[in-house]
Structure 1
């Protein structure tokens, strides 16, 4: 397809496509002349990936890193997935600011749940920061919360991993996209569940509103 069709199919403006080409996050098309190139479905798919990551708040250099991992995932899928997830927010306040030999809050939670504690895995540092934040506002992570959250989140993770493609490049893209676009879905569904339960608990005994005459 020509670039005009790529614009139409992807919904990405021409100027933005040219920017992505310059930045190396979108692979170049097949050159057909000195001024024209041909594009394919892989370009439409890559633009969808870029749009999703940009919408999740990733800066262009993080998107470039994810694209590079999708293009060349390597043989160690576990390490590659960890590197890909590390590209997603939230980020440390400075380069290496949140690194350390140990993350005591995260370690306590993961050990209670019987899960792997790997301080080199980026999400462990993210968990440590999140746990510190809930402590600071006076709503610490109790054992009851750990058990309930852990049980349901493990169920979600098990289901999602069961759907993960076996191809390495597709697996990286699936993991990053699934995290970036589905975490807001999970958060929104949690809030809707609150609303549903609050309606049942707090409104069931309220008298009906009567019109005054």
Structure 2
């Protein structure tokens, strides 16, 4: 198919596709002339993946490129696969960020700071500091309940990792980590709405929920 047909098949503008080509996110097509190339289903699949990484997961172009490179060139250690996903989604921590608070929580939860990267520990510290600055300090019991729920989710994530090939493992870990986070956030909000309705009651479904089916 020509690039115009590729754009129609993916609902992505030609100009955007050309941009992805220039940024080495999308592989080149087969040249049919000096100015035209032919594309196939592999380009359709890659464009859908790029759109998911940049749109749904909210990655920058450079972060998406790193993820795609990792999928194509998986590391030897399966544990390192998770690091690629987390590095793409987490800002590097400044050297002066004190992570002792995060390490104390990890020790209490039995997670082991040595298994967790510094940037993610710093992200937890900064997120909790943001809550404190806003005047909300979650009690330890609440954080412990969250930790228990997150442990269950993480165990389910890891148990589901395929081991038949490095490529399959890489795709599952990276995409399952990055693209499941919006799903988890939406599920949490829906669960909050349900729990609030059960506890506090209400006159009916919120207007934003739309008509019941």
Instruction: Find the counterpart in structure 1 of residue 206 from structure 2.
Output: none
Report the equivalent of 2:46: 46
CA distance in 2 between counterparts of 1:142 and 1:27 reads 50
In structure 1, stretches of 5+ residues that fail to align are 207-213
Counterpart check, 1:139 vs 2:140:
no
Q: Tell me what 1:27 maps to.
A: 27
Partners of 2:174 and 2:187 in 1: CA distance: 20
CA contact (8 A) 1:52 1:180 kept: no
C-alpha change, 1:121 and 1:26, in structure 2 (3 Å) is: farther
Counterparts of 1:186 and 1:156 in 2: how far apart (Å)? 10
Runs (4 or more) in structure 1 with deviation over 4 Å come to: none
Quickly say closer, same or farther: Cα 1:165–1:6, change in 2 above 3 A.
Answer: farther
Distance in 2 of aligned mates of 1:179 and 1:76? 17
The separation in 2 between residues aligned to 1:17 and 1:81, in whole angstroms, is: 28
Give the aligned partner of residue 13 of structure 1: 13
The two structures have a TM-score, normalised by structure 2, of 0.80
**C-alpha deviation, 1:34, in angstroms:** 2.9
Distance 1:8 1:168 in 2: 33
Aligned equivalents of 1:182 and 1:108: distance in 2? 27
Compute the displacement of 1:187 (Å): 1.7
Query: CA 1:101–1:79 in structure 2 vs 1: closer, same or farther (change >3 Å)?
Result: farther
Aligned residues, how many?
200
Per the alignment, residue 72 of structure 1 pairs with: 73
CA distance in 2, matches of 1:32, 1:25: 21
Q: Name the structure where helix makes up a greater proportion of residues.
A: 2
Q: Find the aligned partners of 2:120 and 2:166 in 1 and give their Cα distance.
A: 20
Equivalences for residues 1-213 of structure 1 within 5 A: 1-55=1-55, 56-89=57-90, 91=91, 97=94, 99=95, 103-118=99-114, 120-166=117-163, 167-203=165-201
Which residue of structure 1 lines up, in the alignment, with residue 208 of structure 2? none
Deviations 1:142-162 (A, max 9, x none): 331232111111111222223
Greater Cα offset, 136-145 or 151-160: 136-145
Change (3 A) 1:6 1:170: farther
Deviates more, 1:46-55 or 1:78-87: 78-87
Residue matched to 1:209 = none
